[in-house]
Amino acid sequence: MDVYNLTTVTQFILIGLSDLPVVRYPLFVAFIIIYQITLLGNGAILLAIVTERKLQTPMYYLLANLSLLDIFCPSATNSFMHTMATFSLSFCKSNRVNQYYCDIPPVVALSCSSTFIAELLILLMGSVFGVGAFLITLISYIYIVSTILKIQSVEGKRKAFSTCASHLLVVFLFYGTTIFTYIRPSSSQHSPARDRLISMLYGVITPMLNPIIYSLRNTEVKGALRKVFHHRICSQKT
């Protein structure tokens, strides 16, 4: 086939989570609500850690870092290097992106030119930042667990391990789905529906779950937030 006779694609259409028009508006409303909960929850954690000196410890610095990630991840997904790499590709296939946001892998899959450099960049960037961040988080939790083991009270150990278990569950869910999405061979079988579901786990669900776990199960964070809001209410009355 003569590539010069192919129509060049300049615009893309996001398929979304469902092809059924009847569920598009409910999904839109649900995502808006989830996004607002994500911003408010993670913003509240950052506010508590910044304003309460007792929370300015290595453990809460880790939680602040996770809260920042949870705000940035659903807010901005196409990085500068990946975007520049896609500019060098030519698109002459379908313009329908099998995703509900403009993610790099499904866009690259539509290219009719060589995608070796773009796929290599995805793999390298995912390996460096994804696996690197996962290892740093894992090492941090190893130190946290070693500190918990030094607690003398059995009840204190139980509460601490219960909190860490819920934290680790969300961390593994986030990093596991992210690594699966961006670090896999291009020859592997891709299921668009499965990929959309997996991306929703790390891009939508996990950022919303983190503040719920960190704030609702942490008395120090809740106490710091009550103090902040009580101070602001009193200052407004005066």
In a domain, 56, yes or no: yes
Is pLDDT of 125 > 60?
A: yes
Q: In this structure, which amino acid lies at residue 204?
A: V
Residue 212 domain-assigned? yes
* pLDDT over 60 at 166, yes or no: yes
Between 28 and 5, name the one with better pLDDT.
Answer: 28
CA angle 188–105–170, rounded 5-degree value? 85
Q: Is residue 149 part of a domain?
A: yes
Q: In the predicted model, is pLDDT for residue 38 greater than 80?
A: yes
Residue 6 lies in a domain: no
Domain assignment of residue 15, yes or no = no
Instruction: Give me the CATH number covering residue 122.
Output: 1.20.1070
What's the confidence (pLDDT) of residue 1? Answer: 46
Sign of CA dihedral 73, 139, 213, 175: positive
CB 170 within 8 A of CB 206: yes
Q: Is residue 121 included in any domain, yes or no?
A: yes
Q: Quote the tokens at residue 177.
A: 């789905």
Q: What is the pLDDT of residue 76?
A: 66
The residues near 163 (Cβ < 8 Å, ≥ 6 apart) are 217, 218
> Does residue 80 fall inside a structural domain?
yes
Q: What is the pTM of this model?
A: 0.67
pLDDT for 31 equals 86
Q: What pLDDT is attached to residue 119? A: 80
Q: What is the mean pLDDT of residues 164-177?
A: 77
CA distance 44 to 184: 36
pLDDT at 105: 80
Let me know the angle formed at the C-alpha of 86 by 197 and 180, rounded to the nearest 5 degrees: 30
pLDDT class for 215, splitting at 50, 70, 90? Answer: low
Summarize pLDDT for 54-81 with one digit per residue, the tens. 777 767 777 787 788 788 877 766 667 7
pLDDT given for residue 238 in this prediction: 62
Asked whether residue 3 is domain-assigned, the answer is: no
**If you write DSSP's letter for every residue of the chain in order, what string do you get?**
--GGGSPPP---EE--S-S-GGGHHHHHHHHHHHHHHHHHHHHHHHHHHHH-GGG-SHHHHHHHHHHHHHHHHHH--S-HHHHHHHHT--B-S--EESSSS--HHHHHTTBSS--HHHHHHHHHHIIIIIIHHHHHHHHHHHHHHHHHTT---HHHHHHHHHHHHHHHHHHHHHHHHHHHHHSS-TTS---HHHHHHHHHIIIIIHHHHHHHHHHHT-HHHHHHHHHHHHHHHHHHH-
Cβ-Cβ contacts under 8 Å for 100 (sequence gap 6 or more): 14, 15, 16, 17, 196, 199, 200
Share of the chain above pLDDT 90, in %: 0
Classify strands 13-14 and 96-97 as parallel, antiparallel or unpaired.
parallel
Residue 6 has pLDDT above 60, yes or no: no
Helix axes 132-148, 154-182, angle to 10 degrees: 170
Q: Count the domains in the chain.
A: 1
Domain that holds residue 74: 22-237
pLDDT at 21 over 70: yes
**Residue 235 pLDDT grade (very low, low, confident, very high; cuts 50, 70, 90):** low
